[in-house]
Chains A and B, each alone.
Chain A
């Protein structure tokens, strides 16, 4: 069989599996979409929620403090500092978009999605729009996503004495230097969906995500980044106008055959 025949057989198998014995056209959701010319949903889970949390934006640290915590999502979202729960702008953006979080400014005003999305793209808070899109893509699929190298939980005695948030602002400043346009940046530590995940003891991530800019990474860059990740598998993410794709470039060694 040559390549074309293989492809045909595989296509037939895929179509057979998709059908699963159902008649075509018996998919009500798809029919609704097609009849009303609706676009397919960019985000699953955008429904009215009963468990809505509240957070207040704190400009000095570029994060929001969670003031009303509702729902089990906080087991795998947000970071703990001095016993308080804070979240990064990409987490706020995702939770606000799915209606699970209301963000207040330093008064009692609710910040709308336009302001939140603008902050995601702002770059002052360690995030870019592409960074946020990658975060949203992975988070909505159930992965546990944290900023690369940032602890999920820090106790009081780990902080520097004079300022509550020196550690965090340092992290944010580091991140801003790193997120150069066009360069490759290690951005997320990813954990597989896990009901036993503990912020106080997360363990090693399942893999690390590197956000790559306009050009695919060259071999030297891949090797350099792999070394930085040590033994944790590395995946490269490219975001192109909302389309989020991942690649990996594992070293292989074709065996010597008999």
Chain B
């Protein structure tokens, strides 16, 4: 499918987004979070962060985590995914994390902690950094059967344009991930995502080796971006007008 550009949810929403660049809101979040005493704690496979109204507002505006609804007014609670937690801690350098509820953990220990819980954490983190560092909003894509969905700005303003699948290959260019291995994987992903007006984006983390350190992960891997698009010849659009052919006009 051809996407005709971002699908804004309201009439002036594109202007609202333009007037509020995400990078600026994230900068405000960085300041607020750095000044906060609150530290994220492991909870299940995710992390729990206790917040106050100003921080709550910024986390919501930058679409990090999910706010847990409570009846409390003075404090709020957010559940952050491992990638979100690590991104705020390592890349944006503003989130404190505590593992055993006593002292704060540093980035290397947190890296080891994340890796001990999920072998694939480095791959997903690499993809997450790739997307967030370009100021796209990244949310979990479970509902669409993919890894992430990405938004050009806040999900309240715009529909997500891409459904992201993360794959990987080693430094010899050999595919190592288990995604998109058989044809029905492709048919399924494209059908599910095109049905909700999203293009399928395959992010291939290239050159990864299991023993990479954190700096090596970011410096020595490349993320390749390819769209998976189905072409339906009977529904050719602008790139292929059918002239003078019976019954097959778009």
Which A residues have a C-beta under 8 Å from some C-beta of B?
1-4, 6-7, 10, 44-45, 137-138, 141-143, 192-195, 206, 214-216, 218-220, 222, 235, 238, 240, 245-258
Name the distance in Å between A181's Cβ and chain B's nearest Cβ: 15
Give the number of residue pairs across the A-B interface with Cβ within 8 Å: 125
Interface string of B192-234 (1 = CB under 8 A from A): 0001111001101010000000000000000011111111111
Q: Which of B52-60, B84-92, B131-139 participates in binding chain A?
A: B131-139
Number of B interface residues, CB 8 Å?
56
Residues of A within 8 A of B18 (CB): 258
How many angstroms between the C-alpha atoms of A152 and B36 in the bound complex?
Answer: 72
Complex contact B135–A247 (CB within 8 A): no
Given contact pairs A44-B247, A255-B134, A258-B21, enumerate 12 new A-B contacts (beta carbons under 8 Å): A2-B143, A137-B233, A143-B233, A192-B241, A193-B243, A215-B182, A218-B169, A246-B232, A249-B202, A249-B229, A250-B229, A253-B225
Q: Indicate whether A195 sits within 8 Å of B244 (C-beta atoms), given known contacts A3-B196, A141-B234, A249-B228.
A: yes
Complex contact B152–A141 (CB within 8 A): no
Complex contact B183–A216 (CB within 8 A): yes
Residues of B within 8 A of A45 (CB): 246
Name the distance in Å between A98's Cβ and chain B's nearest Cβ: 13
How many angstroms between the C-alpha atoms of A240 and B136 in the bound complex?
Answer: 37
Of all chain B residues, the one with the shortest Cβ separation from A240 is B183
Of all chain B residues, the one with the shortest Cβ separation from A258 is B21
Name the distance in Å between A64's Cβ and chain B's nearest Cβ: 25
Complex contact B23–A258 (CB within 8 A): yes
Residues of B within 8 A of A219 (CB): 169, 173, 175, 204, 206, 224, 226
Q: Indicate whether A254 sits within 8 Å of B175 (C-beta atoms), given known contacts A7-B195, A141-B233, A216-B185.
A: no
Residues of B within 8 A of A2 (CB): 143
Q: Indicate whether A254 sits within 8 Å of B225 (C-beta atoms), given known contacts A142-B245, A192-B240, A193-B245.
A: yes
Name the distance in Å between B162's Cβ and chain A's nearest Cβ: 8
